[in-house]
Structure 1
Amino acid sequence: MIEFKNVSVSFKQDKQIFAAVNDANFKIKKGEIFGIAGSSGAGKSTLLRTINLLQTVSSGQIFVDGENVTNYKKTQLRILRRNIGMIFQHFNLARNLTVYQNIAFVLKAAGKSKSETDARISELLGLVNLSDKKNSYPANLSGGEKQRVAIARALANDAKILLCDEPTSALDLETTSSILGLLKDLNKKFGITIVIITHELDVIKGICNRCAVMNKGSVVEIGDVYAVFTKPREAFTRQLLSHTNHFSLPKEILDKMEGPIIRLTFKGDNANNPILYYTANAFQIGFNILLGKIEYINGLPLGILYVQLIGEADTLKLAIDYLAENTADLEVINHGL
């Protein structure tokens, strides 16, 4: 659907050449939700904007539906952009226009008649659950409602691709969840290809099928979201994920505990196995669960559990070895033996 071939983007900055994107090479499949993650200044927005040529490339090629669009001009470019919707962090709605008028502007530019425009806007507002806000102005809408209007506007011309530039950064957690749910529903209903860039890794986990990680203009890792989050290959990805995966016991609690404390990580199928039950029965030891969580990424579980072990020293050592063999990862936090 979308392919980057040796794509680089450079800017002249203080008489020096700055590489915003450096030799990007990967494909985004038709109908998938693809995320691009990275910290500020990584080149995410620049790369996203090359897809609809809001940002020209310094070298390399962009393919959309098998067509090389890198040098599109005028009519070709207008048709390309008509098929690619875009939503932004701060919504980009015209404040002096109603919800209806904000969407109608796009349809009129595409040459739609008044009756076609009315019918399409009614359909779009129904899709984003804003039928009652047709005559409202942006100032009277919540942040989530503004983003829903922006989504409706982006889809007005039956876009096949939706580019999302930090679409939830200005929203609270509940509203973010609502907007991500809407995007997932639209993807499922219409098969629209969605490309979303964000520094919020929970957004990537919550909505994307695959993702790329960028650092200093380069794509350093790419793959299935579950694989990237549970088994990152690159040091930068591990560092980036450490900020979202930070989950630990306070030192004050650790200092009070006696006996070994372990941190268990469960991934995939083994997350559903009653391994603590099996271990307790096999080695006649006890467990005191101190802290735990489980989350699902693309329907697959990832669990972390902090456990205090209770029993005889020799038996506990055997139990720890058994747990290490039957979980994704085991770390002894406090030996206590």
Structure 2
Amino acid sequence: MKRDTRPIINRASIYKPLIAFTRRLSNYSFLCCDTFSECIISALGDDAGHLFLIDTDTEERKFLNTEIGVSSSAIFDLCWLNSSLIGIASGDSNLYLFDVFKGQLTQCKGHTKSIRCIIQAINRVYTGGSDGKMFCWDVRSKNPVVELSFSPKSHKVVSAIALNGQEEYTVYATATPGTILNTWDLRYTKRGMYVSEQVGIASAITNSVYHRDRYIYLLLSNSGILRLTETGVFMNYIQPGSSYGVAHGKIDYNGHMDLMFAGFANKVAVYDTNYPEITHTYEIESINGLDCIGRNTFLTYDEYGRIAIYELVCNETCAQTV
């Protein structure tokens, strides 16, 4: 007798986003956001060089706001390095380290053009710039420790960086023209240098890259979302590209819900990494990106200096089966 099989629910389809809070904080466009999850403090950077620290705990609903002037150039990216230190990628070519408790700003020099992306590992910071260079920094020093070399050296801009979630000695970066995926294994060097293995992926630029469960996800400037193997082999489109170009966007992961989120243009795409061929897309107001900030919440930021916090509520009537 044949056993009946129950359909599998696509978890990305059983939620819908509802706005819990919205406010305009800046007169300039927000370009980046990162949240320290232990206390739910979000850091945002705008294109005028201002850093904003916001309490985004939706249960307390304090929504405290602190503004710090960092640079006269845009803040293209930032990340929390630990509970008290934020790394800031600035358009004036400097890496800034801001100590939240001391209110102290440290300037680090190394790049010759604007820094476009930043990510942290234990006691290390990686940055990529418009000068086509990748640096590894020690937060205890004001100078880069290692330059990660490209092969061949034909890149114009390093647009996004990600670390391997299971192996922090593996670093990924996307560079122009188009999207060239570069991979460094920091366990060994070639001719005394860390040199990338690279694969040409797409003609569109990558706005965000994320590694999860042995796959790499790219959010492209043509609105497409790609899934690749760790060696850069194309697997499938999470979302197909279009003729509509976007200059900003971000992929993030919600560990509580075990779902991936991608925010760009006027869309939020949600997908389960177990079933990446099925995506549920919500249309919202135009945004520059998003950041997962809590158990069932995410924050969006836009070109008008506004933020919005969305709560995901159950929407079982729209549940899709796999």
Q: What's the TM-score once normalised by structure 1's chain length? A: 0.29
Which one has the bigger helix percentage? 1
Q: Which of the pair has more CA radius of gyration? A: 1
Which one has the bigger strand percentage? 2
Q: What's the TM-score once normalised by structure 2's chain length? A: 0.30
